[in-house]
Amino acid sequence: MSDRALQSPKGVLFHFVYFFMMLFAICFLIVSSILFTIFYPNVALAKIFQNEFYRAFILTALPQLLCQAVFATRVLSVWQKKKAV
């Protein structure tokens, strides 16, 4: 992505909102799984994560969060360069 695209407020806002939505989704998944095992102790946590949806979601969401974090650091470095000029 070019530096000009990084300075676009709508583009930057979209990526930050997407990052926090993915982070919230992963936290919600983990918390709901823990609460499920507390209220239904006869079902192991491993059985929950054997579900195809949970595995696919976790395996695809974590790399996306990593990419968004790298993007956020690049945005901040571009903004710092812009302020320095």
Give the pLDDT confidence score for residue 32 in this predicted structure: 77
CB 54 within 8 A of CB 26: no
Q: Is the pLDDT of residue 43 over 70?
A: no
pLDDT at 24 over 80: yes
Q: 4-8, 11-15, 57-61 — which is least confidently predicted?
A: 4-8
User: What spatial distance separates the first Cα and last Cα of the chain, rounded to whole Å?
Assistant: 21
Residues 6+ apart with CB under 8 A from 35: none
Average pLDDT, the chain: 71
Domains of the chain, by residue range, sit at 3-84
Residue 3 has pLDDT above 80, yes or no: no
Q: What pLDDT does residue 33 have?
A: 73
